[in-house]
Amino acid sequence: MLDQTTKRKLDSARQILVGKVPDPKAQVEQITTALIYKFMDDMDKENEEVGLKTQFFVDDWKKFSWTKILDNKLSGQERLDLYVQAITNMPKNPHIPQLFRNIFKGAFLPYNDARTLSLFLKEINEFNYEHSENLGNAFEYLLSILGSQGDAGQFRTPRHIIDFIVEVVDPKKNETILDPACGTAGFLISAYKHIVKNNDGKDNKTGKLTKNETRLTPDDKNRLMNNLTGYDISDEMVKLSLVNMYLHGSPDPKIHVYDTLSSEKRWDETFDVILANPPFMTPKGGISPHKRFTIQCKKAEALFVDYIIEHLNINGKAGVVVPDGIVANPSNLYAKLRELAIENGLYAVVSLHNTVFKPYAGAKTSVLFFDKEFAKKSKDIVFIKINNDGYEKGEQRRKIEQNDLPEVVKLIEDFKSGKKELSSKIDFIVVPKIQLNKKFSLFVNKYLISNRENGNESVEISDLFDIQKGTLQSTKKTEGEFDFITAAQEWSTHNSYTHDCEALIFAFGAAGSLGRTHYVNGKFIASDLCFILTPKKDSKYPVNLSFYHAYFNAIREQIVADLAKGVSKLAINKTEFSNYLIDYVTIEKQNDFGNKIVAEQKKIAEMKAKIEESEENIKEVIFEVL
């Protein structure tokens, strides 16, 4: 674990750099370079103290030792010149590991300020590492600064979600493990720690020695490290992964710069375990994949799932984070992909809420779990919904007590063990594979709603309503006599209308008003951030709009939690909204409840009128005093 003193020092080092190096990623690179530099010097000093020869800074390279650079006899400018010369030439140092030479390749100082560098190096000099694991912990904290920041759909997976996925997949010491979009190697490090923890000779719950668990031998550890493989398309990410792996004990990490989707070079390599949170976003112009994929398309998220399925060994296991389009998009492409997943080991779908990646992204995601050996024997898939992950659902994501993750791990263990009666406080349902519809939907909420025992039929919104998008941008309205209905609470007006009917207006794209529903009857025009819902003609599902106006507002929070997606702004996709399951209440009950709702709304209107009247009376009293 990282102690608070080290954390404060790292934060202080970043604070020194921020004026000259504003980009967090560049700050991490500068700190990483300096920490590794200092770490090599520490190792040399340790060797000297026990009578061994120095290892890294010898012969002509002595002048570049960290100690020489921090020499108080140097002026600020001399120190800057020597540091720049050192990091520039370090790739040529024959005495350091090839991995470190590669890491220093291209290293440079992005500013020319002697005072800033001196302050920065002084802060780094406060770090003292007796073992590389300490530097590994510091490095993990630096990577957490990058957090879940997404670029091109690449969201850094929160540590607790990584650990949760690894715990469910439960990789073993002799299994080969791949992350095909490894980023900073978070999944690989977590898998390594998980295996070490389960092979340390101690009971995981009590921490006491036990005969039921054997310790890893040195050969086991070497084999384990050689079993970890990572690919990433980014040179910079691979560099960070290499450092992370090395600092966690891997002398020769198998991390490769590799275009997983376009290159065939490593296509024939398969693995026992695959763990991944691959990029969601497809680059402009699409991807140019080769022809060996079962799913022929140019969508990154679909191709990565296909890749994972096709690269598992015969009894392979996997855990992969996917955007909800993978589980819910009704198009034939995604339906075929889901069918492929079900046929190749999918046994659990876990829905994450849309603040898991906050504060950097509001992406709604799920985790697909595969176990090809177990799935061959099981006729079911378990669908689970996580409402709390141990952190607040706001921008700050502070830690809280409510945490469904341990319960999910236990539930999945019970499901896989064949336990007949599953019980849990969290939302879940076991669905026979044969009952999945022809589109093979894996949308968790679809099955949870269907399972509710309220006597109502579950139907898609599009079974009840025709759904259109509004057309008018708020900035282009012209005051007039017709209602202009937006996502806001109060309506505006416009000089023309598009509809003359009874309808519901649902806000799908306005952040603060997302999910708000209005009822209208007459001539109106709707905002381009709203859906217009009108009852289907000649439908077997007649509707009372007063009832469904209240119904949609009552389940607003749930709809937003299930469907809202986006990086900078949340919005609800029309197709997914159309396919969303809701209750169909018989028209007799609708009319009965609808009349009661109208009566209550009338009372509200009367109360509002009284409040306004009282407010006016107060004003008159004040004016009399004045």
Residue 132: pLDDT over 60: no
For residue range 375-398, list pLDDT tens digits in order.
999 999 999 999 888 888 776 678
Same domain for 330 and 242: yes
Domain boundary among 450, 483, 500: 450
Same domain for 603 and 529: yes
Which residue would you say has higher pLDDT here, 516 or 299? 516
Residue 623: pLDDT over 90: no
Domain boundary among 450, 469, 486: 450
Residues constituting the chain: 626
Q: Nearest 5°: phi and psi at 220?
A: -60, -45
Structure tokens, 557: 């929070």
Same domain for 552 and 437: no
Same domain for 551 and 465: yes
| Structure confidence at residue 455 (pLDDT) | 63
The whole-number average pLDDT for the span 11-17 is 92
Same domain for 307 and 188: yes
Distance CA 394, CA 383 (A): 25
* In-domain check, residue 614: no
* In-domain check, residue 626: no
Distance CA 373, CA 393 (A): 36
* In-domain check, residue 596: yes
Same domain for 418 and 497: no
Kindly state the percentage of the chain with pLDDT values over 90.
47
* In-domain check, residue 550: yes
Residue 322: pLDDT over 70: yes
Residue 151: pLDDT over 50: no
* In-domain check, residue 73: yes
The whole-number average pLDDT for the span 327-341 is 90
Distance CA 233, CA 256 (A): 8
Count other C-beta atoms under 10 Å from residue 164's C-beta: 26
Same domain for 508 and 408: no
Its domain, for residue 109, covers 4-138
Considering its fold, how many domains does the chain have in total? 3
For residue 195, the domain's CATH number is 3.40.50.150
Dihedral (CA of 256, 262, 265, 267) sign = positive
| Structure confidence at residue 373 (pLDDT) | 97
* In-domain check, residue 149: no
Same domain for 378 and 303: yes
For residue range 203-251, list pLDDT tens digits in order.
777 777 777 778 888 899 889 999 999 999 888 778 878 888 887 778 8
Helices (H), 344-440: 372-377, 405-417
Same domain for 261 and 344: yes
Same domain for 203 and 123: no
For residue range 467-482, list pLDDT tens digits in order.
999 999 999 999 999 9
* In-domain check, residue 624: no
Same domain for 243 and 335: yes
Q: What is the mean pLDDT of the chain?
A: 87
The whole-number average pLDDT for the span 402-415 is 94
Q: How would DSSP label each residue in 189-244?
A: HHHHHHHHHTTBSB-TTT--B-TTSPBPPHHHHHHHHHTEEEEES-HHHHHHHHHH
| Structure confidence at residue 364 (pLDDT) | 78
For residue range 487-514, list pLDDT tens digits in order.
998 899 999 999 999 999 999 987 788 9
Task: Please answer whether residues 74 and 94 qualify as being in contact, where contact means their C-beta atoms are separated by less than 8 angstroms.
Answer: no
Q: b or e along 573-599 (b: 16 or more beta carbons within 10 Å of the residue's beta carbon)?
A: beebbbbbbbebbeeeebeebbeebee
Domain boundary among 450, 482, 517: 450
Same domain for 481 and 562: yes
- What confidence tier does 148 reach under pLDDT thresholds 50, 70, 90? very low
The whole-number average pLDDT for the span 129-158 is 60
For residue 130, the domain's CATH number is 1.20.1260
For residue 475, the domain's CATH number is 3.90.220.20
pTM here is 0.73
* In-domain check, residue 623: no
Q: Which of 478, 467, 490, 450 is CA-nearest to residue 584?
A: 450
Q: Nearest 5°: phi and psi at 436?
A: -65, 140
